[in-house]
Amino acid sequence: MATVIATINLKGGVGKSTTTAALAEFMSAEFGYRVLLVDLDPQTNLTTMMIGEQRWQIVNDEGSTVNSLFASALDAGLPEFDVEKAVQHGASPLESVRGVDLIASSLDLMETQEEMNAWQYEVPGSLEPLLVLRAALAGLQSSYDFILLDCAPNLGIVTANGLMMADAYVVPAIPDVLSTYGIPQLQRRVQRFTDRTGHGVTPLGVIITKYRSSSTLHRATIERLQSAVFEYESLPACEREARPRPPTVIPHWIPESNQIAQSADFFDFGTLRQKYGNHGQFDALRNMTEHIIAGVGVYL
């Protein structure tokens, strides 16, 4: 059975999609895992990174995106969603990455999302609108080691569908004040989601993105996040129980780098070293991936 990991942060532009794409490519090419990516963001950034705009257009026209999945759940008159057909095999521009598949997103998901919200209000308390994705993907679980869900920067109904099938989540964040400010609130909201649905999602940690070693703010922010964990660990057990555990910081920071920014282009750069850069970027991404795989082994 696949381990399902959601990438979430309420803040936009912090590197969620870039990190999710890299995680998938490293899990596959460096560690030999079979990975399914699911793009849950109507912006379709992950989709165009992995399969390019031309292939996306074809997939979108034939109704093989998560939008069609949610739309068919809303309207029984629409054809049933064919999940096997929706899986895009060999979804990476790199020839050297073979084990990554993708279920694409669509710009139309923006509108469908609103209809999903309306459905949720029509059936207050029902979990049915939150279970659409999990039910559709149940048959794929045994074909993969990891399913990675790239979420939009909100906790709306589509992200909630992601959480409902996720075993764990990671939070990419730029180490500055604004990008880390909302992390405790995000944690509380995931906890409230668990209280409401009974479905637990394990936090695997904060992934530091766009790190600049020359920035004192970046270093100070990381130290602040790390010392919050240290202080929490130093509390007596009775006090620890009374408050939420601060998120751990994954100790391999992704540097800000032009080459990582360019990795969004749908282009066969060759190897992962050539795609992401060999000046610390490859090592940081590989170590981050290895740390997350190890975390899954320990916590799940």
Question: Which residues form the interface with Mg ion (CB under 5 A)?
Answer: 16-17, 45
Cα 10 from Cα 30, distance rounded (Å): 30
**φ and ψ at 172, to 5 degrees?**
-70, 140
> Which residue's CB is nearer to ligand ATP, number 45 or number 106?
45
Kindly calculate the radius of gyration of the chain based on its CA atoms and give it in whole angstroms: 19
Is residue 250 at the binding interface for ligand ATP, with CB under 6 A as the rule?
no
Residue of 36, 260, 272, 285 that binds ligand ATP (CB under 6 A): 260
Residue 210 binds which of Mg ion, ligand ATP, none (CB < 5-8 A, kind-dependent)? ligand ATP
Site string for ligand ATP, 12-51 (x = CB under 6 A): xxxxxxx----------------------x-x-x------
Would you call 122 helix, strand, or coil by DSSP?
helix
* Beta carbon of residue 39, minimum distance to Mg ion (angstroms, whole number): 9
Scanning residues 55 to 94, which ones bind ligand ATP (CB under 6 A)? none
Site string for ligand ATP, 196-235 (x = CB under 6 A): -------------xx-------------------------
Residue of 153, 156, 182, 280 that binds ligand ATP (CB under 6 A): 153
CA angle 34, 7, 260 (to 5 degrees): 80
Cα 50 from Cα 21, distance rounded (Å): 8
Number of residues that bind ligand ATP (CB under 6 A): 19
Q: CA nearest 11: which of 166, 196, 130, 151?
A: 151
Contact 176, 217 (CB under 8 A): yes
Residue 293 binds which of Mg ion, ligand ATP, none (CB < 5-8 A, kind-dependent)? none
CA distances from 63 to 68, 116, 266 (A): 6, 18, 22
H-helix or E-strand spanning residue 159: helix 157-165
* Binding residues for ligand ATP (CB under 6 A): 12-18, 41, 43, 45, 153, 209-210, 254, 256-257, 260-261, 264
